[in-house]
A and B are shown apart, each in its own frame.
Chain A
Amino acid sequence: MAGTSLDRTHPTYIYKVVLLGSTSVGKSSLAYRYVKNDFKESLPTMGCAFLTQTLCLEAATVRLEIWDTAGQEKYHSVCHLYYRGAHAALLVYDITSKETLSRAKLWLQELEKEFLHDEIVIALVGNKTDLMAEREVTTEEGEEFAKSKNLLYMETSAKSNYHVSEVFTAVAQELVAREGEKAAVQRPAPTDLQEPRGSGPRCCQL
């Protein structure tokens, strides 16, 4: 049966979202802006940082468990730990550095090996739009690549708070929409926030 029963009109979902990208593209700054609505100078992340944010969409309440990974090279050997079981990934690059876009593309290849196409929602995020004068990657270039790979795409600025919550909301909406599609095939299993971790089909354990 499709998920039309009345008591299921506003389910709660928990999703694991991982931020990937080169060091200093602004992953932590995006996460901080989104969760705390603030911007401050940050130091490179070690390993990864875990944050959560809950949003209420029309169709569902969504709790995002955000894994902000370290972009430094020495952590690459452990990064797969952090993206394993992710429902969504933000591939972040810095619009003032072409090299970081290439790195984002490599992360995409990594993810394509780990996940089937419909298993994960991927967004390509070009950060630091406030640094327009130093731009190296055009909007078109990012957009075209995203289109060719069927990714969500957005340019952001953690510093000037441009499109930050939008990008997370877009990802959440896409995730919820996919629940709907899945529901057409089988009953969804909305997760109760109170439910103890690690049970059921949710994949928030690493």
Chain B
Amino acid sequence: MAADVHKKKGWEVPNGSLAPGDGQHAERAESPTPGLAQGTEPGAGQEGAMFVHTRSYEDLTSPEDGGVAARSPEERQGEPAEPTSMEQISKDFSELSTQLTGMALDLEEEMRQNKEGKLEPSPQAARRDSVLSGKEEEDVTMDAWRMHRKHVFVLSEAGKPVYSRYGSEEALSSTMGVMMALVSFLEAEKNAIRSIHADGYKVVFVRRSPLVLVAVARTRQSEQEIAHELLYIYYQILSLLTWTQLNHIFQQKQNYDLRRLLAGSERITDNLLDLMAHDPSFLMGAVRCLPLASSVRDAVSTSLQQAKAKSLVFSILLSGNQLVSLVRKKDQFLHPIDLHLLFNLISSSSSFREGEAWTPICLPKFNSSGFFHAHISYLEQEMDLCLLLVSTDREDFFTVSDCKRRFQERLRRRGVYHALQEALRTPFYSVAQVGIPDLRHFIYKSKSSGLFTSPEIEAPYVREEEKERLLGLYQYLHSRAHNSSRPLKNIYFTGPRENLLAWVTSAFELYICYSPLGTKAGAISAVNKLMKWIRKEEDRLFILTPQTY
């Protein structure tokens, strides 16, 4: 291992270039719809968008991105494999699901013991029993259920484990073997998405040569949505290695153990999976802004814009997973996926809190073949404001570091530090501000700006499971609205605990959740009221005047 220090230079990847990798600067569709034409909806930028225009998650899984088979279930079953191998697959799969169950319980036990402060794993034998006793049982089963709601595995095409969400890859090697048997049935296509359904699980495969990503899920998500999450994992790996380096490695050595290179980054992938289960940004393929008075935001943006340098492509100010401001080089657009990856990178590492970080980073949707260098730092010790300066020149640390200093100086001179601090005290707003009694929560996305807004999730969605359940309902509506064979524009969903309504037009997407006692008519009038409220608040909730250097 140590001997490789020198050889590594061969993998060196050139500085990130501005040439987009895969024709992402597509023209925007100009389809006027009843109601609002795209570009005039609340939240639409006044001077164009900051982001590459995306069509929500189809963008990830559409054929142009590598080819998805959106097939009907019949086709899927009939086509890829002979009947005998299908039988084999089901058999393998039953074995696999038992293994998964056992594993998740073990892991759950370990976690519980850790919480109690016993760090050494206790003897294996004792565990299973405690799972089955008394009141605890319920908790455990509940947690265990959550634990194995979605397993995620990444392996190389040669079958070497790369990543596993739960448990060590070592212990999983037999599982991986089964995976490979399963994977072999999509051998034919290099970039395919396939799925099988069995025992209440969905198994979704995404093959992005040289990697294969597999999810075993018991969530209500559609296979497209699960595939979408797997692609995020794929892009996350690219963001650390670049597509070029990844391919180079496997061309040199087909059975390379990628865990060596990814060692220490597992937590970034773990964090991404957790984030996707909680944060609607990923589902919406859009970015949420920190609510901020437009005068303050403009002052911040102008300060960022003035603190520019030749090599800078993007200057991004973040708070938590919300965008405060983004300034970009003229004609260069960031893809929301790349921004989500940056959000995840920052939220999964506390090390950026100290000093100034200068790290190679690939923005795979922007250009998957090269590294940018990102200057990452927090503005103040106790303030949740992280500044990201993305540069094309890895030699430019001091220039970029100086941009940060100039930015801070300008902020201070414009006297907006205090206002920012105030805004950070309430990073989320309450749905009560809208003034619709039955309204519990909503997500509104402006398609032309790629931005969305959503209030804090409040009672009755207090516990984590409840929050995830709400997001699950949105996921469900979203998948119905974007079903590639039969997309729906309006969906009205009544459930025992809440009612939901989805409205998707070419300009915006709106999902609202309201009390189960509310009527459909009530929901429709709520939508009207809500749209007016969003329009009234749009300059606080969105970035209407994005800047460029």
Contact = CB atoms under 8 A, between A and B. Distances in A.
A47 B391 CA distance: 14
Given A28-B354, A81-B394, A204-B398, A46 B359 contact: yes
Nearest to A99: B2
A71 to B, nearest CB: 9
Interface string B1-41: 11111101101110000000000000000000000000000
A103 interface: yes
Interface string B476-505: 000000000000000000000000000000
B397 A72 contact: no
A23 B395 CA distance: 23
B360 A75 contact: yes
A51 B240 contact: no
Contacts of A204: 398
B350 A43 contact: yes
A63 B228 CA distance: 49
A73 B249 CA distance: 14
A17 to B, nearest CB: 13
Interface stretch (B73-81, B155-163, B257-265, B518-526): B257-265
Nearest to B11: A77
A23 B2 CA distance: 12
B139 to A, nearest CB: 28
Contact of A46 (B13, B241, B349): B349
Contacts of A23: 263-264
Nearest to A65: B398
A77 B12 contact: yes
A68 interface: yes
A110 interface: yes
Interface in B261-312: 261-265, 267
B358 interface: yes
Interface in B204-248: 240-241, 245
A68 B355 contact: yes
Contact of B359 (A31, A32, A47, A73): A47
A34 B3 CA distance: 31
Interface in A51-77: 51, 68, 70, 72-77
B356 interface: yes
Contacts of B124: none
A117 B11 CA distance: 28
A205 interface: yes
A78 interface: yes
Nearest to A47: B359
Given A32-B354, A197-B398, A74 B261 contact: yes
Interface in A1-18: none
A48 B373 CA distance: 11
B114 to A, nearest CB: 15
Interface in B354-380: 354-361, 371, 373-374
B97 interface: no
Contacts of B90: none
A81 B8 CA distance: 13
B395 A51 contact: no
A39 interface: no
A74 B241 contact: yes
Nearest to B396: A206
Given A76-B5, A80-B9, A81-B394, A48 B264 contact: no
B387 to A, nearest CB: 14
B152 to A, nearest CB: 20
B263 A49 contact: no
Given A72-B263, A72-B264, A76-B4, A46 B357 contact: yes
Given A49-B351, A72-B263, A77 B8 contact: yes
A75 B262 CA distance: 10
A32 B263 CA distance: 23
Contacts of B8: 73, 76-77
A78 B15 CA distance: 11
Interface string A25-47: 00010011001100000111111
Nearest to A104: B2
B162 to A, nearest CB: 13
Contacts of B9: 77, 80
A68 B352 CA distance: 12
A201 interface: no
Contacts of B408: none
A32 B351 CA distance: 11
A115 interface: no
A49 B356 contact: yes
Given A23-B263, A76-B8, A102 B2 contact: yes
Contact of B357 (A47, A77, A80, A102): A47
A75 B356 CA distance: 17
Given A78-B371, A206-B398, 15 more contacts: A31-B354, A31-B355, A35-B355, A36-B354, A43-B351, A44-B349, A46-B351, A47-B360, A47-B373, A49-B357, A51-B356, A78-B394, A102-B2, A107-B5, A206-B394
The 9 A-B pairs at the shortest CB distance, nearest first, are namely A47-B359, A51-B355, A46-B359, A44-B264, A76-B8, A77-B8, A49-B355, A50-B356, A74-B261
Interface of B: 1-6, 8-9, 11-13, 240-241, 245, 260-265, 267, 345, 349-352, 354-361, 371, 373-374, 394-395, 397-398, 401-402
14 contacts: A31-B355, A43-B351, A46-B345, A47-B361, A47-B373, A47-B374, A50-B357, A74-B262, A77-B8, A77-B245, A78-B371, A78-B394, A106-B2, A205-B397
